[in-house]
């Protein structure tokens, strides 16, 4: 029985995988054979009944005569034939004449119906549901139809099209999300440079008319304002050509450590003039020249400072140092610190604890990406000896000169 079942399954699989044209011809041929067999059987039955009626009337006919001759002789010879027998005789004659046509039509209709139900109904239903879902922009489904005929190939092609649509949709969503990241990063990173510019502008407006600013201080202030303006110009020019945050350029170059510290100190002084919170900058006085991307370092510092200032009560502390092959940047505040959830998700884009209307995840997410681009990383913790958060960022030094 297992062998028979196996052979039957192979036969059904062979029929199921036949091309649609050959399958339809097969169904029609089978229908024609069935019609022929049924017609032959019906004719034989009608002949048998005719012979029985002839024997009842003692009509001896040679079987060599045609059925029409038999019917004619029977009617002519049987003087005592009844109306009922005559009706039966006519009915048998008509059945013999028309049964091949009737059976052919019926079997063809049955074959067409069976062919549609077995070979077309299921794939049509699958494709109809798929088209409806695609029309509703629901692409999380699979088009599957196990057959090697044209309908199976059509379902495979539709599944490939669905996968392409799904990939294109995901790519489009990724592009939209990347653009949102860029826009958020651009808006977020304008905060610190604008604050520096505002601080120095207020400083000049307040003390320049009084004549209490030395020429050297005025020169340094204008230089720092010019640096911030150039930085904003560079930043906006870069953002116009970027399609995603990942494309932010990485260009390490030689920079004296003292110059980098002076730039940070200048930014701190300007922010202190703005008087949002007090900012303290701690650094060693070691010299040397480092190869790193200064713009990326300042970008990360801006983001960390922006978040620290928003959450600090009165003071933010910055510390920079070089250890081994890394340049470290620490920013701490005396605010409420990170919650358990924030320690796990602080670098996720748009994450917020609800303390502020703004999301601090924008800056920290961008800072994390920039640190990784520079071979380092960013980490979050709460201060062990006082209240507040501590964020550390590391940058791999490409070399020392």
Q: Go through 241-251 and write b for each residue having 16 or more CB atoms within 10 A of its CB, e for each that does not.
A: ebeebeebeee
The length of the chain in residues reads 401
CB 155 within 8 A of CB 127: yes
Claim to verify: residue 282 and residue 376 sit in the same structural domain: yes
Residue 199 and residue 103 share a domain: no
Burial 290-302 (b: 16+ CB within 10 A, else e): bebbbbbbbbbbb
Q: How many CB atoms lie within 10 A of CB 390?
A: 20
Predicted pLDDT of residue 33: 93
DSSP secondary structure of 330-351: EEEESSS---HHHHHHTTSTT-
Domain membership flag for residue 175: no
**Residue 320 forms beta bridges with which residues?**
283, 329
| pLDDT grade for 205, boundaries at 50, 70 and 90 | confident
In a domain, 161, yes or no: no
| Position 144 in a domain | no
The Cα–Cα gap between 193 and 228 comes to: 6
Residue range 256-274: mean pLDDT, rounded: 82
Top pLDDT among 201 and 17 is at 201
Structural contact between residues 331 and 311, judged by C-beta atoms closer than 8 angstroms: no
Please state the domain count of the chain.
Answer: 2
Q: How far is CA 162 from the centre of its chain?
A: 11
Alpha-carbon distance values, 162 to 15, 151, 154, 365 (Å): 28, 16, 12, 33
- DSSP code of residue 392: E
**Does 204 lie in the same domain as 90?**
no
Mean pLDDT on 214-237 = 74
Model confidence pLDDT, tens digit, residues 15-62: 666 788 888 888 889 999 999 999 999 988 888 887 776 666 554 544
Query: Is there a domain that residue 374 lies in?
Result: yes
Q: What is the pLDDT of residues 278-290, one digit of tens each?
A: 889 988 767 678 8
- Residue 268: pLDDT over 70: yes
Q: pLDDT tens digits for 79-129?
A: 455 667 667 777 888 888 898 999 999 999 999 899 888 888 888 888 898
> Residue 178: inside a domain, yes or no?
no
Predicted pLDDT at 61: 47
Does residue 157 lie in a domain region? Answer: no
d(CA 72, CA 66): 10
Instruction: Answer whether 0.85 is exceeded by the pTM.
Output: no
Domain match, 226 and 129 both = no
Sole residue written with tokens 């120095």: 200
Question: What integer pLDDT is reported at residue 350 of this predicted model?
Answer: 47
Report d(CA 288, CA 256) in Å as an integer: 6
Considering 101, 120, 139, which residue would you say is the last residue of a domain?
A: 139
- Coil, strand or helix at 359: coil
Backbone angles phi, psi at 350, to 5 degrees: 70, 10
109 and 197, same structural domain? no
Out of 27-36, 265-274, 316-325, 329-338, least confident range: 265-274
pLDDT at 260: 86
Residue 212 has pLDDT above 80, yes or no: no
DSSP element (H, E) containing 253: strand 253-256
**Dihedral pair phi/psi, residue 74, rounded to 5°:** -60, -45
CB 192 within 8 A of CB 302: yes
Question: Which of 76, 106, 139 corresponds to the end of one domain?
Answer: 139
In this structure, what token pair is assigned to residue 149? 């005929």
Whether 200 and 271 map to the same domain: the answer is: yes
**Domain end among 115, 139, 163:** 139
Q: Are residues 208 and 113 in the same domain?
A: no
3-state secondary structure of 207: helix
Judgement on whether residues 214 and 359 belong to the same structural domain of the protein: yes
Please indicate whether residue 82 or residue 242 has the higher confidence score (pLDDT).
82
Asked whether residue 114 is domain-assigned, the answer is yes
Q: What is the mean pLDDT of the chain?
A: 77
The enclosing domain of 260 has a CATH number of 3.30.565.10
My answer on whether 124 and 215 are in the same domain is: no
The neighbour count for residue 344, using CB atoms within 10 Å, is: 12
pLDDT tier at 355, thresholds 50, 70, 90 = very low
pLDDT at 34: 93
Q: What is the mean pLDDT of residues 163-192?
A: 73
> Per-residue confidence at 359, pLDDT binned at 50, 70, 90?
very low
SS3 call for 181: helix
- For residue 185, is it within any domain? no
Residues 75 and 16 in one domain: yes
253 shares a domain with 120: no
Phi/psi of residue 256, each to 5°?
A: -70, 135
Q: Are 119 and 237 within one domain?
A: no
Q: How far apart are CA 347 and CA 299, in angstroms?
A: 15
Given this model, what pLDDT does residue 300 score?
A: 87
Question: Token digits for 58?
Answer: 């003692």
Looking only at the bridges linking them, the beta strands covering 253-256 and 289-292 are antiparallel
Residue 77 domain boundaries: 2-139
Q: How far apart are CA 330 and CA 392, in angstroms?
A: 4
pLDDT score for 63: 46
Cα gap 61→53, rounded to integer Å? 12
In the chain, the percentage of residues whose pLDDT exceeds 70 is 72
């Amino acid at each position: 029985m297992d062998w028979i079942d196996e052979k039957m399954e192979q036969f059904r699989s062979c029929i199921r995988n036949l091309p649609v044209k050959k399958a339809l011809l097969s169904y029609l041929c089978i229908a024609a054979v069935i019609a022929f067999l049924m017609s032959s059987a019906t004719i034989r039955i009608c002949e048998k009944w005719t012979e029985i009626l002839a024997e009842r009337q003692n009509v001896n006919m040679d079987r060599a005569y045609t059925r029409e001759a038999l019917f004619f002789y029977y009617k002519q010879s049987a003087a005592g034939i009844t109306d009922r027998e005559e009706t039966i005789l006519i009915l048998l004659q008509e059945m013999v004449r028309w049964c091949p046509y009737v059976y052919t039509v019926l079997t063809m209709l049955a074959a067409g119906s069976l062919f549609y139900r077995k070979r077309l109904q299921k794939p049509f239903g699958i494709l109809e549901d798929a088209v409806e879902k695609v029309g509703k922009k629901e692409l999380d489904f699979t088009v599957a139809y196990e057959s090697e005929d044209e309908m199976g190939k059509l379902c495979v092609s539709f599944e490939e099209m669905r996968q392409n649509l799904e990939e294109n949709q995901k790519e489009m969503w990724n592009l939209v999300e990347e653009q949102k990241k860029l826009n958020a990063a651009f808006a977020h990173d304008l905060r610190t440079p604008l604050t520096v510019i505002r601080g120095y502008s207020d400083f000049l407006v307040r003390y320049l008319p009084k004549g209490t600013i030395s020429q050297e201080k005025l020169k340094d202030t204008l230089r720092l304002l010019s640096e911030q303006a150039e930085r904003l110009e560079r930043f906006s020019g870069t953002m116009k050509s970027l399609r995603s945050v990942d494309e932010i350029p990485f260009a390490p170059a030689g920079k004296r450590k003292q110059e980098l510290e002076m730039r940070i100190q200048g930014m701190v002084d300007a922010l202190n003039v703005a008087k949002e919170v007090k900012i303290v900058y701690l650094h060693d006085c070691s010299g040397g020249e480092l190869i790193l991307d200064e713009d990326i370092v300042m970008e990360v510092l801006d983001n960390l400072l922006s978040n620290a200032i928003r959450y600090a009560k009165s003071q933010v502390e910055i510390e920079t140092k070089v250890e081994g092959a890394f340049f470290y940047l620490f920013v701490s505040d005396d605010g409420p610190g990170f919650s358990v959830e924030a320690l796990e998700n602080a670098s996720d884009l748009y994450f917020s604890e609800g303390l502020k209307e703004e999301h601090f995840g924008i800056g920290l997410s961008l800072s994390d990406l920039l640190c990784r681009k520079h071979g380092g990383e960013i980490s979050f913790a709460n201060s062990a000896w006082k209240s507040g958060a501590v964020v550390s960022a590391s940058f791999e030094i490409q070399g020392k000169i």
